[in-house]
Each structure stands twice: as C-alpha cells, then as structure tokens.
Amino acid sequence: MNVLTKILCIILTYGLFIAGCATVPITGRRQLVLIPYFELQSLSSDNYRQILAKSKLSQDAEKVRMVNNIGNKIAWAAEDFLRENGASDIAGRSHWEFNLIEADKTVNAFAMPGGKIAVYTGILSYTQDEAGLAVVIAHEVAHVIANHGGERMSQMLLAEFGHTIVSKAVSEKAETTRQFFNLAYGASMNLGLVLPYSRLHEKEADRIGLILMARAGYDPGAAIWFWQRMNEAHTGSQIPEFLSTHPVPQTRIGDIKNHIPEAMKYYNKRGGVQDEMPRLCKL
C-alpha cells in the first residue's frame, strides 16, 4: 500500500467515523458531517444576504405575510418535534427567516443551514393555497433540520480530497492518461455519490416535510396535488432520474403516497391549523 492509498484510507475511515456520530431526525439515517454547524450558519447567512441583496423582494404584503405565517408555524412544529424526540441539541440552533422573492418565472424555493429560506413567486401558481405552500416550505425546513447542506458540503470536501489524491497518483503519466483518470473520477463521483445523495436528500425532505406540515395543522395530502400539478406542467422537460438531482415526479408522488399514512397520524392528532404559535422570525 503506497502513501497516497494510506492517506485515502485514513480520510475515508475518519469520514465513516463522523458519519456514525450524526443522525437525521425522523428517518434515523446516519450521515457524514465534517463541518461544525456554527460555521455553516455563518457561511450560509452571508450567502443568503448576498442573494437577497441581488434579488427583488416581493412587495405584496398579503403574500409575504402568508409565507411568513406558514413558515413560522412549520418552524415551530419542527422545533417542538425535535424537543419531544430527544433532539434538543438540534432544536433552537437555527435562526429562522423566510423571504418571498419576486421572480414569476422562477418555480423554486431554497433553504440554507441556519434556517434561511426563500420562496420565489413563480412557484405560487402551483401551490395555489396555504396547504400547497406549506408543502414547499415544510420541505425546505426539513432540509435544514436534516442538515442536508452540511452533509453535501462534507461530501464535496471528501470528493476534493479524492481528486487531489488521484491527480497526484497519475501526475507522472502522459497528459491523455491524466485527463482520462480525472474525467473518470469526476463522472464516477457525480453518478455514484453526488446525484444519488441529492435524490436521497429530496426524498428525505419530502418525508420529513409531510410530518412537519401535519404537525403544523396542514393536510399532508396537499403534497400529492401539488406534485401532480408540477408534473403536468413539466412533463416534456424531464431527464432520466439517474442523471437528475431530484426524483422524477412519478417516483416522488409514489413515495409521498406511501408516507401519507405516517404523516396523517400527526395531522389527526393536531386537528387543524394552529393559530396561536410563537413568532420565530420577522414578518
């Protein structure tokens, strides 16, 4: 075993050790997290401010209020759920903030570590009502409490380490050989790690999001109708699932239907939208 191979083994062993120390709430999946959460918060907060500074925030008071009200309810439900299930170390570490960005052609929303979430106005035509919007926001809140951002960055760090080792191992080879190994490594990491984990994160956020919206008092069945609308609107633009960062809509809807009974237990227990909840972010 040469020095480079030993280094790679040490990195992988360390990564697996850390992965055993972090667990995704609700799903119980062990995950790889190499970056302290407070560092992720600082980095994501700066990036979030930069994005907002370059974006046009919606001036529609009613829509902005709706995004914040739904976000508050779901964030409160998430924090409450974490405390009830022995994850107090995760509860309270995020500083939740929700913004509505004016971009009618952008059908999207995103979340950053630390509870920084933004919704684009383009997705509102698909959410249609509060329950539909709750599907989107709960999905993004789920990404935050599952620390998918930290896991993704950790995977990128290991991938970079691996690329450095591969590059050094073939540094004395011919140029065509170096190019071949670099391209092969990049393709294998993308198809074997980055894309599969991205789809896993999306599926995980769907499942966790259903539970969070149910605990906040929104019918999780709204997720089916939302994704059916999304599917009908984008039927002709789908790429094969193994090349995508997200599950194809048909897969997604099927998984959601399987998780609806789990989420309905919380919805039936709560019995409707709760209006009296602490405010967790600015309106």
- The C-alpha atoms of residue 275 and residue 283 are separated, in whole angstroms, by 15
The residue annotated as part of the active site, out of 79, 97, 140, 204, is: 140
> Do the Cβ atoms of 41 and 114 come closer than 8 Å?
yes
Q: At how many degrees (to 10) do helices 195-215 and 222-233 cross?
A: 140
Give the residue among 274, 193, 191, 176 at the shortest CA–CA distance from 240: 191
Q: Is 62 a catalytic residue?
A: no
> Do the Cβ atoms of 95 and 49 come closer than 8 Å?
no
Sequence-distant (≥ 6) Cβ neighbours of residue 93 within 8 angstroms: 37, 41, 114
C-alpha angle with apex 35: 33 to 41, nearest 5 degrees? 115
Catalytically active residues are 140
